[in-house]
Amino acid sequence: MSVQNLTSRDPFADVGDDQAISTKAPTKAPDYVHIRIQQRNGRKTLTTLQGLPPEYDPKKLLKAFKKDFACNGTLVQDEELGQVIQLQGDQRTKVSILLVDAGIRECFGFKSGPLAPSLC
């Protein structure tokens, strides 16, 4: 059994045109740092951070976050997402400010939920 639908096809191209079928890979989405909040029980929340550039050590970042924000945190290994930093409490704005000040990300390089406060 083979998969034959891995190429894209232009439905408006002329018949027999070489441009009708393209084997070009889809473009990669821009790299964003995803900062999310998850509701736990009651008023308790978790802030999750994923998509950090690979040149930064997540353990050192976690240690800096825990010290600066006076909260606890952990590293979680996910099969799809890689290493995810989890922090206790709503730390979205603090994380984004620290990442911008440290030069890890520009202000526009964040993704957050629809109800999130302004990150920069």
Tens digit of pLDDT per residue, the chain (120 long)? 555 656 666 677 776 665 555 555 555 555 788 899 999 999 999 999 998 888 889 999 999 999 999 999 999 998 888 899 999 999 998 998 888 888 877 766 666 665 555 555
Query: Residue 67: inside a domain, yes or no?
Result: yes
Query: Residue 8: inside a domain, yes or no?
Result: no
Query: Residue 36: inside a domain, yes or no?
Result: no
Query: Residue 106: inside a domain, yes or no?
Result: yes
Query: Residue 6: inside a domain, yes or no?
Result: no
Query: Residue 25: inside a domain, yes or no?
Result: no
90 CB-near residues (< 8 Å, 6+ apart): 37, 45, 47
Query: Residue 86: inside a domain, yes or no?
Result: yes
Show the domain range for 105: 45-111
Q: Which residue from 40, 42, 50 is spatially nearest to 112, judged by alpha carbons?
A: 50
Domain count, the chain: 1
**C-beta atoms surrounding 88 within 10 Å:** 17
DSSP H or E stretch at residue 69: helix 58-69
